[in-house]
Amino acid sequence: MKKILITRRLLKESEDKASKMFDANLNSNDELYSQSKLIELTQGCDAVLTSLTDKMDEETINKLPDSIKVISNFAVGFGNIDLEAAKKRGIAVTNTPEVLSDATAEIGILLILGACRRASEGIEAARESNWKWSADYLIGKQLTGTRLGILGMGRIGQKIANIARSLGMIIHYHNRSKLSEDKEQGAIYHDSLKSLFSVSDVLSICCPATKETENMINKETVEYFPKGAVITNVARGDIVDDEALIDALNRRKIYAAGLDVYKNEPNLNPGYLKNKSVFILPHLGSATKDTRIAMANLAIDNINEFFETGNCKNKVN
Ligand code: DGY
């Protein structure tokens, strides 16, 4: 039986499945392992099932024992893993696409609605019974007829586009390449960031975090947007230069932001907390029971597939 380390606690159903299929070392206290503890616990293991909280950088990967053949990430994003370093050591890295697209798209839409309709201010006022209805109280931005720019029209981006269309939004997108017409469903392709941002009344960031997308929202690109645009991020914090976005929010160039992901999670840049027009969530993209079970099961199956066939369809390096 292959031996695996699971770095974070999973839902019981998934831990039971892992224990049936492997000699699985579970983390019942859900402790956040330090680099040295993780290295120590992987001794003698064939695979490690990681979460987005595990920083699998080059140094960590180089210290893994030779027995490790797979890093199976419990996430669709894999910005926490140095893919090249893993490849150099002959370690396959896998992720969990598709199973979380619906749940994450729901949060993507929640961010758009929350930011545009001033949900943070509304929740605070309602909790404190500190409000009086009036014709101009907490007036927000209506979505009907506005242009939604989608940065990264993959599975999640396409699902957000479908829901947004039903809210009357007009969809624009930028991707590495133009999609086929059946995937576009009438969405308008832009071959540059500048072109997309300049027509985005609302932006939904859905692209993976890579060296190329790091700080794509920055001092320069934030100026491409129409005045009063809304920026939302359901992908990864590394795509946004926080200081540039906070500055644009403070001077009302950007009307509001909706954020589920951050650099240095869970420590948000305090500038976001000081600004009432920022609608924030604590990385809830895939946080539903069905989705978390499906993700964990896929992460476990990815390891099994690799050992049974020598490859895995969800291998990303
Ligand atoms: C992912 O899988 O990348 C999600 O962000 C997890 O919630």
Give the residue whose CA is nearest to atom 3 of ligand 1: 77
Ligand 1, from 10, 49, 51, 52: best to mutate by most atoms within 8 Å of Cβ? 52
Pairing of strands 3-6, 70-73: unpaired
Distance of CA 233 to the CA centre of its chain: 8
Q: Which two tokens stand for residue 33?
A: 């392992």
Provide mean pLDDT across the span 99-125: 98
Atom of ligand 1 nearest to the CA of 75: 2
Domains of the chain, earliest start first? 3-97+288-309 (3.40.50.720), 101-280 (3.40.50.720)
For residue 266, whether the previous peptide bond is cis, meaning omega lies within 30 degrees of 0, is yes
Which band of pLDDT confidence, cut at 50, 70 and 90, is reported for residue 170? very high
Whole-number Å distance, alpha carbon 286 to ligand 1 midpoint, is 6
Summarised one tens digit per residue, pLDDT across range 21-80 is 999 999 999 999 999 999 999 999 999 999 999 999 999 999 999 999 999 999 999 999
| Residues with Cβ within 8 Å of residue 126, at least 6 apart in sequence | none
Annotated catalytic residue 172: no
Q: 107: exposed, middle or buried (C-beta count within 10 Å: 0-12, 13-18, 19+)? A: buried
pTM > 0.75: yes or no: yes
How crowded is residue 86: how many other Cβ atoms within 10 Å of its Cβ?
23
From ligand 1's centre to the CA of 250, what distance in Å?
29
- The pLDDT assigned to 309 comes to 98
Contact 47, 65 (CB under 8 A): no
165 labelled catalytic:
no
CB-based pocket (< 6 A), ligand 1: 52, 75-77, 100, 283, 285-286
Q: 262 C-alpha vs ligand 1 centroid, how far in Å?
A: 12
Assess contact for 46 and 70: CB atoms under 8 A. Answer: yes
Length, in residues, of the chain:
317
Going from the C-alpha of 108 to that of each of 38, 101, 159, the distances in angstroms are 33, 10, 9
> Would you call 117 a catalytic residue per the annotation?
no
Please give the pLDDT value at position 49.
98
Mean pLDDT of 179-192: 97
